[in-house]
A = this chain, B = another copy of it.
């Protein structure tokens, strides 16, 4: 599906996630059409960038009217792979892991948390919402039975690589790495790093340089 066989640059993918979020908000408030200029204004971009980005989609706008929010949502969802649901496990039942397992937003957007695991015997058996913390020894069984696609790594940095290896061996296709460390996996598995501490450090730099009188630049999608 789709007429485009070239890989889409990461910078474009990041903006597509923002467009999708914006489309969903607008559709919820009954807006049916949006122009590239309006969308650009909402997100602090240029209309050129928006139109150039949408060229990667198997979807066309309409001269003089713009883009239909429904059609655009659908086309972006397809490219992002969020037109289907994904089965996810969380590894690490600490504060962050538990928060992720309980977080409503993920399920609402098609990422269903099907399990949470930890290696700490004090945590195994604990209830986390509808889930029960399982032992790491059960990982490959859980991955097979629940047909898990992705793993969220929410363990301390020192354990992240080992957990990544276990998840890959168990057969997941993608990893979301919350740990502040670079993990290395074989080529057929993809990794996205979230690095929340790094975000705080970026913020810290912006505050410092803002105070020193440099141009304030918003970090994020732009």
Complex contacts, A191 vs chain B, CB 8 Å? 203, 218-220
What is the CA–CA distance of A199 and B180 in the complex, to the nearest angstrom? Answer: 15
Which of B13, B200, B205 lies in contact with A202, CB distance below 8 A?
B13
State whether B203 touches A176 (Cβ < 8 A): yes
* Bound Cα distance from A203 to B192, whole angstroms: 6
Is there contact, CB below 8 Å, between A210 and B188? yes
Give A31-85 interface residues, CB cut-off 8 Å to B: 42-44, 79-82
For residue A115, CB closer than 8 A to chain B, the reply is: no
Number of chain copies forming the complex: 2
A192: chain B residues at CB < 8 Å are 199-200, 202-203, 206, 219-220
Closest chain-B Cβ to A80's Cβ sits at a distance in Å of: 5
Contact of A109 among B197, B209, B220 (CB under 8 A): B197
Query: CA A211 – CA B80 in complex, angstroms?
Result: 13
Cβ-based interface call for A96 (8 A): yes
Chain B residues, CB < 8 A from A216: 187-188, 190
Give Cα A97–Cα B10 distance, bound, in whole angstroms: 29
Chain B residues whose C-beta falls within 8 Å of the C-beta of A137 in the assembled complex: none
Q: Does A126 contact B (CB under 8 A)?
A: no
Bound form: Cα–Cα A204–B176 in Å? 10
New A-B pairs, 4, CB < 8 Å, besides A10-B202, A42-B182, A195-B221: A25-B181, A96-B99, A190-B203, A194-B196
Q: A residues bordering B, Cβ < 8 Å?
A: 5, 7-8, 10, 13-14, 16-18, 20-22, 25, 42-44, 79-82, 86, 95-96, 98-100, 102-103, 105-106, 109, 111, 149-150, 157, 173-177, 180-182, 187-188, 190-211, 214-221
7 A-B Cβ contacts within 8 A? A7-B217, A80-B202, A105-B197, A106-B197, A109-B197, A109-B201, A194-B196
